[in-house]
Amino acid sequence: MRLKQLEMALQRLRGFEKPRPSLEQYQTPAPLAARLLYHAFMKGDIKGKIVCDLGCGTGVLAIGASILGAASVKGVEIDPEAVEIARRNTALLGADVEYIIADVRDATLPDRLGACDTVVMNPPFGAQKVHADRPFIDCALAMAPVTYGIFNAGSVQFIEAYTNGRADISEKIAGALPIKRTFSFHTKDIQEIEVEILRLITPH
């Protein structure tokens, strides 16, 4: 499958029906999701691998990993309503994802889920709840040797300081996130946020 085909497939997926601001529910737009996944695929981090999507929302990253040939995919999400949509999206594309309704702040989660090869995630940026992204990083590093995450542009320093030797940033890919007017505190119809896709690896 080529990048463009993946993007077109992901474009068909439904987003959040009633996005909840406190959970920072934004569906990753298909072009950005496809970019992350395809990059990971080309690095050998998806095909035949056990992949976990933390905060999977309506499932775009998890489903994309499945259709790119992951051996198995788990999607972890706190909001059962989002998981309902994710399940329908999974069926729509004939993908195979196991959904787990759980909170990434639960310290027992990595043990319960078991190890995986690759984590993919678009965590909350912490715009509504400060440091909301930290438990995602902790959970990812506890679960997998390789993590792809979407972060605010300029997060490298923070991630390096926060992970403090627990992980190295092996790659950084710049991207943009067009955010449609979703919540009342948004003032423009569409706002572009500069983001970066980071590949984190845990030293062995």
Residues interacting with ligand SAH, by CB under 6 A? 23-28, 55-58, 60-61, 76-79, 82, 103-105, 122, 124
Q: How far is the CB of 36 from ligand SAH (least distance, A)?
A: 9
> Which is closer to ligand SAH, CB of 83 or CB of 167?
83
Question: On the CB side of 116, how many CA atoms lie within 13 Å of its CA?
Answer: 31
> Which is closer to ligand SAH, CB of 3 or CB of 100?
100
Task: Note whether 97 and 61 are within 8 A (CB).
Answer: no
> Which is closer to ligand SAH, CB of 27 or CB of 155?
27
For the chain, percent helix, then strand, then coil, each to nearest 5?
35, 25, 40
Measured between alpha carbons, how far apart are the two ends of the chain, in Å? 32
> Which is closer to ligand SAH, CB of 126 or CB of 145?
126
CB-based contacts of 146: which residues, under 8 Å, 6+ apart?
45, 117, 118, 119, 199, 200, 201, 202
Q: How far is the CB of 177 from ligand SAH (least distance, A)?
A: 10
Q: How far is the CB of 22 from ligand SAH (least distance, A)?
A: 8
Q: How far is the CB of 203 from ligand SAH (least distance, A)?
A: 26
> Which is closer to ligand SAH, CB of 103 or CB of 194?
103
Give phi and psi for 125, each to the nearest 5. -85, -5
Where b means 16+ CB within 10 Å and e means fewer, 53-86 reads bbbbbbbbbbbbbbbbebebbbbbbbbeebbebb
Q: How far is the CB of 101 from ligand SAH (least distance, A)?
A: 9
